[in-house]
Structures are given as structure tokens and as C-alpha cells.
Amino acid sequence: MKDFSPISRVVVHHRVQFSETDMAGLVHFSQFFRYMEKAEAEFFRQVGVSMVQQDGSVFRGWPRGRVSAKFMAPLYFEDVVEIELLVKEIKERALTFFYRFRRRESPFLSAEGRPVEENLAKGEMTTVLVEKSGLAGSMQSLPLPQSLRDRIREADPIAMRP
């Protein structure tokens, strides 16, 4: 089995695709929630946990309990955005992540001689470990397994300041 050092932070980069924008080349706000999920998937990969598990007719997964975002600047087509995920809180049955979005590259802003690196948004997401039996079964929350708890830790609250 792979040895895991506990982690509290993951950073991923994403180049904005045309399909993520409107006709003015601005990223639609809903894309930021997809970017959160991209970082979340990488976080779970790094700790060796699949976000969706199936054992016969029993499914385990991580639905959202809460999500929020605050937007501070627009993101444009072909910009490169850095998505930083920090583990804000480890609860009995859930994890709360803090997200920070920063622009790292921008062909349009660079061409205009404008500053490129900029804080774009921040957000939070709480995701709950659940189990569901069959398609018609109801979801029941589960305690986080000790094996997962051993691989993660809460980030320093100072890291979540602006």
C-alpha cells in the first residue's frame, strides 16, 4: 500500500475553454463550481480515495451539503486559473474545503499591458460521505474512516485569509 503523508492543500491549474464562456469571452459563474470539483477530485486522488465507490448494490459517494462563492474579478477565455483547495474542517461525517481562485496567465490582459495575476474568487464546499443501497434506497451519512483521517489534516486558518 502506498504511504501517504497527511495533506491539507491541493493546487490545480486550468486553462479556460471556449465552451466555459459566454459570447463576450467571460466565464459563467457556474464554472467556478466545476473548478472546485476538479480540485476536489485531485485532492481525493492524492489521498488514495475514490469519490464514487460501488460494492454490489451499495454505493458510496460525496454529495454536497453546502457550497458558496464570492466573486471579485472576471475570468476570460484562455486565461489560466489556479484553483487552491485547503481543508478547512474535518467533521465526523463531512469535510469542508476552502477554495481560492487566482489568474496566472491571460493572453488578453497581457496584450493590453494590464496586470495578469489577480485574485478572482473564493469559496467553500462541504461534502458528506454517504452510502446508498440500490437505486431507490435512501442516502445515509457515514463517519469518515480512520484511514482517510490519517491521510488528511486541517489547513492553518491563516492560509485562508485574503
Q: Among 73, 105, 76, 103, which residue's Cα sits nearest to residue 18?
A: 76
Cα 158 off chain centre by: 19
Cell numbers 448494490 label which residue? 57
Residue 82 grid coordinates: 489556479
For the domain that residue 51 is a member of, what is the CATH number?
3.10.129.10
Q: Tell if the pTM clears 0.95, that is, is over it.
A: no
Residue 58 grid coordinates: 451499495
| Exposed/middle/buried for residue 129 (C-beta within 10 Å: 0-12, 13-18, 19+) | buried
Q: Does 1 reside within a domain?
A: no
Torsion of CA 56, 3, 49, 84, to 10 degrees: -170
Which of 3, 22, 79, 150 does the annotation list as catalytic? Answer: 22
Q: Does 161 reside within a domain?
A: no
Q: What is the pLDDT of residues 51-90, one digit of tens each?
A: 999 888 899 999 999 999 999 999 999 999 999 999 999 9
The answer to whether residue 102 scores a pLDDT higher than 70 is yes
Q: What is the pLDDT of residues 38-57, one digit of tens each?
A: 999 999 999 999 999 988 88
Q: Does 2 reside within a domain?
A: no
Please state the domain count of the chain.
1
Cα–Cα distance measured from residue 61 to residue 93, given in angstroms and rounded to the nearest whole number: 12
Residue 127 grid coordinates: 461534502
Q: Does 160 reside within a domain?
A: no
Q: Does 4 reside within a domain?
A: no
Query: Is 22 in the active site?
Result: yes
Domain of residue 137: give its range. Answer: 9-155
pLDDT at residue number 2: 58
Q: Does 110 reside within a domain?
A: yes
